[in-house]
Amino acid sequence: MGAVFALFSGWYFWIPKILGLSYNNKLSKVHFWLLFLGVNFTFFPQHFLGLQGMPRRISDYPDAFTGWNMVSSYGSIISVVGVYVFLYVVYNQLSLGKLVSRFPWIIIPFFKDILQIILHRAFIGLEWAINSPPKVHPFINLPVTGGIVYTLVYIFHSIFIKNIIICDSPKPWGIFFQDGASPLMEALIELHNIIMFYLIITLFCVGWVILSIIINGKKNKISNKYVLHGTLIELIWTISPAIILILIGFPSFKLLYYMDEVIDPKITILVNGHQWYWSYEYSNYINNENNFIEFDSYMIPDKELTYGTLRMLEVDNRIILPQLTHIRFIVTAEDVIHSFACPSLGIKCDAFPGRLNQFSVFINRIGVFYGQCSEICGVLHSSMPICIESVTIEKFLVWLNQQF
């Protein structure tokens, strides 16, 4: 979206200079604010939905996602209205725009346009009035004179920390991750928070520079169109991003290696993605008929839902796992690419036909954890949820006994 706004601002800046025609100022402001509100109302909810674990490109989604999706839809409608206003601004400019400047290009004198310019006494745009290149300027340093406000931002994320576990699924109007239930997910949330810290500092510094240029207009002490370079500021804006990247890189690499290898798992589960259900195989156990314990897991359709179950998330056969145990998942697919994902356990692993991927999970506590296929795999991509139930080891052994 940044590029889109840059294109629009480029249009508003250059087109009057190139065509010499003014545009409707008020309408262009309406366009800016409509688009600004529209894209933010569209993409911020999408961000929240992502944190809550909603996969991309699904046609139908669990009910918890409805609220933010609705806001997002209204946001995109506002954006569309904004684009129509822009098209009208352009039409208005081309058909009714007043002459504001001399054409920068060489104009053949017998063109009647030049006559019009003389008749309208149009002034010459400043951009074309200055020497090119400009005269050598007398500044030694970048003309920044004090007044720098250092803003310290403290984020009270206590509103996000709620130790009441309702269900490990997305919550209506949720704006943060689901409760982490594995050390891995807790570390991932920690990494997210570390990166957000630097992100917010950067946002405030850059935002302050931009806002002070916009608000103070020509009087601002930051920008000067005749300044070509300033060694100090260039050193600062080259080195400080490098330092920030290193500071982000260290915890990121630590986590990457932490996730890397599966050491001494106690249970191995083979996950097989199909169009459109999952099948699971407990490869450590063989039943009386010399077969592995295996079963298919289908989504429960809307008509068969009982009160309190989650639409688009509940399955007929859950994966039952013991808590506080090292578990290895081996993931593959039968037909097309699927992706085995469970947000509260920090799992997302692509399932490829003819390939085995693996990852490990250590579940901290008992609970029911919901996820969805996260790689578009056909029409019923949204109808192959994942449901992992973590139980005590005793209960797990009882369940295991029933499978023989």
Q: How far is the CB of 279 from Cu ion (least distance, A)?
A: 12
* Rg of the chain, C-alpha, whole Å: 30
Nearer to Cu ion, 342 or 373 (CB): 373
Contact map string, positions 288 to 327, toward Cu ion, x by CB under 5 A: ----------------------------------------
Q: Are 370 and 309 in contact (CB under 8 A)?
A: no
Among 39, 269, 377, 387, binds Cu ion (CB under 5 A): 377
What is the widest separation between alpha-carbon atoms in the chain?
100
Q: Pairing mode, if any, of strands 367-372 and 385-391?
A: antiparallel
Q: Which helix (H) or strand (E) holds 399?
A: helix 393-402
Q: Are 333 and 402 in contact (CB under 8 A)?
A: no
Total number of residues that touch Cu ion (CB under 5 A): 3
Q: Are 289 and 349 in contact (CB under 8 A)?
A: no
Nearer to Cu ion, 42 or 383 (CB): 383
Residues between 13 and 42 that touch Cu ion (CB under 5 A): none
Nearer to Cu ion, 86 or 340 (CB): 340
C-alpha 135/C-alpha 349 separation (Å) is 60
Residue 185 sits in the site that holds Cu ion (CB under 5 A): no
Residue with tokens 């369940």: 399
Residues between 331 and 350 that touch Cu ion (CB under 5 A): 338
Q: How far is the CB of 269 from Cu ion (least distance, A)?
A: 17
In sequence order, the 6+-apart residues with CB closer than 8 A to the CB of 189 are 177, 180
Residue 271 sits in the site that holds Cu ion (CB under 5 A): no
Of the listed pieces 197-205, 221-229, 330-338, 354-362, which binds Cu ion according to CB under 5 A? 330-338
Q: How far is the CB of 379 from Cu ion (least distance, A)?
A: 11
Cα dihedral across residues 347, 374, 72, 200: positive or negative: positive
Nearer to Cu ion, 207 or 378 (CB): 378
Of the listed pieces 167-175, 220-228, 356-364, 365-373, which binds Cu ion according to CB under 5 A? 365-373
C-alpha 298/C-alpha 316 separation (Å) is 6
Q: How far is the CB of 318 from Cu ion (least distance, A)?
A: 18
Of the listed pieces 133-141, 162-170, 249-257, 374-382, which binds Cu ion according to CB under 5 A? 374-382
Q: Are 329 and 362 in contact (CB under 8 A)?
A: no
Core vs surface per residue 240-251: b (16+ CB within 10 A) or e: eeeeeeeebeee
Structure tokens at 389: 């139930």
Nearer to Cu ion, 16 or 385 (CB): 385
Q: Residue 325: phi, psi to the nearest 5? A: -135, 140
Of the listed pieces 139-147, 286-294, 324-332, 368-376, which binds Cu ion according to CB under 5 A? 368-376
C-alpha 107/C-alpha 377 separation (Å) is 59
Nearer to Cu ion, 99 or 377 (CB): 377
Q: How far is the CB of 331 from Cu ion (least distance, A)?
A: 12
Residue 373 sits in the site that holds Cu ion (CB under 5 A): yes
Q: How far is the CB of 273 from Cu ion (least distance, A)?
A: 6
Of the listed pieces 87-95, 135-143, 295-303, 370-378, which binds Cu ion according to CB under 5 A? 370-378
C-alpha 341/C-alpha 333 separation (Å) is 14
Amino acid at 7: L
- Per CB under 5 A, residues contacting Cu ion are 338, 373, 377
